[in-house]
């Protein structure tokens, strides 16, 4: 690595009304390097990133310091000169792509505007260059995408547009602030692959600010931790994961190699869902959207089943169908020997205390007018202060929480209150719908530990719905993978995470960024990616829903519906060719399904 840094920061400080947000930061970024910057929410990472470009959010002020990029102190330049350096020599990607794009202009026009500001290009040449950038970033039909407005493209596409804007003029340094927040794992991995490839091809450097240690482990060369406005000395990624230098990082990594305790062995399942389906008729068009398609699930007492898949795969709808918060269109749901689908409303209300749910956004799920005691009291047959205090203690909330309203609690405390409300009725099953997605990493670790402890103490079964594969791996005993409303593979945690067999499950798990630098994604050959677009759930293919994207699809896959096949190793697979390979047989096709 060259001795001279590409970026050198010395004594950089930013204040807000007398409070120091960035405190005398010293930092070097070397040419060709991806430097990770991590730290808890509020540590000052975003404020530091903006300050490197000479920017602050009002009422913030730069209090002093030097930002030297290839020998030139950016903060010593007049504002008009500094503006010329932004985009041409130092680029910025923010974490909210839609908020950073103008809704009134096409994405091609916005990319072209950045290019014309820094390169000797006319309008036509800038447009052509914008299309080339989008093509290079993996967007299919880039000319059509360039004509689109931000609301007409997906979040992953919007992130690629920001990359094109940030890298189009060839900056030497790219500042990327939580660039993948809110993206599905496959889109996240594609985005980071493209970011790393583009930066290294240009021999530029990246300062990648993220709370996701999986991203740090898989893409960064060195990592630094920011705490209360100060940056600890950077260290190599391997050294960081071998011996984290601070309590924050040690806490986040503490769950890395902890497997959840095994549930007690049982023969009789608690919940069995068979051929569960849910269709929605789209208003105005009469078209039918197949949200859940022939789902089969089994869950035992004290067990956690992780339900994973990308946005729109049907995970949340499955959870709501199991509780009959939405009415299934077909199939059966047997819970403790009773079919929930056939229960009358009064019978269902009596059974509901045995089956509870924890929602994704804790603040929206709690009545803002009520205190915590009132929220918990509603879930009890009798409002008992002693039982309320016991519930708060079970979820590690202080007794004083009883008098507080949700708005005065942190997001993590709000979710603990939601869990306390769920366990108040002593249920046998809790559906956890993305319960950690709105939380900081530290709060997420706390919730995982809490759920483990409660399960061991109470014997409660969990259906854990999430797109966060790291949390699913830490909490689940078995895992089911969903694609377009179907479960395509189901097996033990080890089977799914270490040796998935279905082509979609393999693609999903290949994008899993585990916080372990032993097998870094950036250092290994890229996995075979699925090609093409995801089919519309209102116009699904006749055969396998993945056939149009699968590299190993056979002609029969395109015409014959696939069903879930039980394999000798205990997993279930919705892929006849792969199931046949697993059992060393040839699949026999029949009308309406596949037998082996």
pLDDT in tens, 489-525: 999 999 999 999 999 999 999 888 999 998 899 887 7
Q: How far is Cα 36 from Cα 53, in angstroms, rounded to an integer?
A: 18
User: Across all residues in the chain, what is the average pLDDT?
Assistant: 89
Q: Does residue 226 carry a pLDDT above 50?
A: yes
Structural domain spans, the chain: 7-253, 531-595
With cut-offs at 50, 70 and 90, classify the pLDDT of residue 528: low
Q: How far is Cα 276 from Cα 281, in angstroms, rounded to an integer?
A: 17
With cut-offs at 50, 70 and 90, classify the pLDDT of residue 589: very low
Higher-pLDDT residue of 315 and 94 is 315
Q: What pTM did the predictor assign? A: 0.85
Higher-pLDDT residue of 217 and 95 is 217
CB 488 within 8 A of CB 504: yes
Q: What are the C-alpha distances in Å from 345 to residues 329, 418, 549? A: 17, 24, 43
With cut-offs at 50, 70 and 90, classify the pLDDT of residue 526: low
pLDDT in tens, 99-125: 889 999 999 999 999 999 999 999 999
Average pLDDT over residues 77-97: 89
Q: How far is Cα 282 from Cα 314, in angstroms, rounded to an integer?
A: 16
Instruction: Give SS3 for 496.
Output: helix
pLDDT in tens, 321-333: 999 999 999 999 9
Supply the pLDDT for residue 99.
Answer: 80
Among 114, 227, 121, smallest CA distance to 171 is for 114
Supply the pLDDT for residue 587.
Answer: 46
Supply the pLDDT for residue 427.
Answer: 94
CB 53 within 8 A of CB 176: no
When the candidates are 3.40.50.2300, 3.90.740.10, 3.40.50.300, 3.30.70.1060, the CATH number that belongs to 7-253 is: 3.40.50.300
């Amino acid at each position: 690595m060259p001795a001279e840094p590409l970026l050198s920061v010395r004594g950089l400080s930013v204040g807000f009304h007398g409070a120091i947000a960035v405190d005398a930061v010293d930092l070097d970024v070397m040419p060709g390097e991806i430097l990770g910057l991590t730290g808890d929410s509020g540590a000052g990472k975003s404020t530091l990133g903006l300050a490197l470009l000479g920017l602050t959010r009002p009422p913030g002020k730069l209090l002093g310091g030097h930002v030297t990029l290839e020998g030139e102190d950016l903060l010593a330049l007049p504002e008009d000169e500094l503006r010329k350096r932004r985009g041409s020599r130092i680029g910025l990607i923010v974490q909210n792509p839609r908020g950073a794009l103008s809704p009134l202009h096409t994405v091609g026009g916005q990319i072209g505007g950045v290019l014309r500001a820094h390169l000797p290009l006319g309008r036509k040449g800038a447009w052509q260059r914008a299309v080339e950038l989008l093509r290079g970033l993996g967007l299919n039909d880039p000319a059509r995408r360039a004509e689109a407005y931000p609301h007409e493209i997906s979040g992953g596409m919007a992130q690629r547009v920001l990359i094109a804007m940030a890298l189009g003029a060839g900056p030497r340094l790219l500042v990327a602030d939580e660039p993948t927040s809110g993206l599905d794992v496959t889109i996240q991995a594609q985005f980071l692959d493209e970011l790393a490839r583009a930066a290294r091809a240009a021999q530029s450097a990246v300062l990648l600010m993220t709370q996701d240690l999986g991203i740090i482990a898989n893409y960064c060369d060195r990592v630094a931790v920011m705490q209360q406005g100060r940056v600890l000395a950077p260290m190599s990624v391997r050294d960081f994961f071998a011996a984290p230098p601070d309590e924050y990082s040690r806490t986040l990594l503490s769950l890395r190699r902890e497997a959840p305790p095994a549930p007690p062995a049982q023969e009789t399942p608690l919940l069995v869902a068979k051929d569960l389906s849910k269709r929605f008729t789209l208003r105005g068009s009469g078209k039918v959207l197949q949200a859940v398609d022939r789902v089969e699930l089994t869950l035992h007492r004290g067990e956690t089943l992780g339900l994973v898949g990308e946005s729109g795969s049907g995970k949340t709808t499955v959870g709501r169908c199991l509780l009959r918060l939405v009415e299934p269109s077909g199939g059966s749901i047997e819970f403790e020997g009773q079919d929930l689908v056939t229960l009358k409303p009064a019978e269902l209300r009596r059974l509901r205390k045995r089956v509870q749910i924890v929602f994704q956004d804790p603040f929206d799920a709690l009545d803002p007018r009520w205190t915590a005691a009132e929220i918990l009291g509603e879930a009890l047959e009798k409002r008992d202060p002693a039982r309320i205090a016991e519930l708060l203690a079970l979820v590690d909330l202080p007794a004083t929480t009883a008098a507080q309203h949700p708005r005065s609690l942190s997001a993590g405390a709000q979710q603990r209150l939601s869990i306390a409300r769920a366990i108040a009725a002593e249920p046998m099953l809790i559906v956890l719908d993305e319960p950690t997605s709105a939380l900081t990493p530290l709060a997420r670790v706390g919730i995982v530990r809490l759920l483990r402890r409660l399960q061991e103490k109470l014997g409660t079964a969990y259906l854990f719905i999430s797109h966060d594969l790291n949390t699913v791996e830490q909490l689940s005993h078995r895992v089911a993978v969903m694609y377009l409303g179907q479960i395509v593979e189901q097996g033990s945690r080890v089977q799914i995470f270490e040796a998935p067999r279905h082509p979609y499950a393999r693609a999903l798990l290949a994008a899993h960024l585990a916080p372990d630098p032993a097998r870094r994604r950036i250092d290994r050959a890229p996995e075979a990616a699925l090609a093409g677009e995801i089919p519309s759930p209102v116009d699904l293919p006749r055969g396998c829903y993945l056939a149009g994207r699968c590299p190993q699809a056979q002609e029969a896959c395109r015409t014959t519906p696939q069903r879930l096949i039980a394999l000798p190793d205990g997993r279930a697979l919705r892929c006849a060719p792969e199931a046949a390979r697993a059992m060393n047989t040839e699949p026999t096709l029949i009308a309406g399904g596949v037998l082996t």
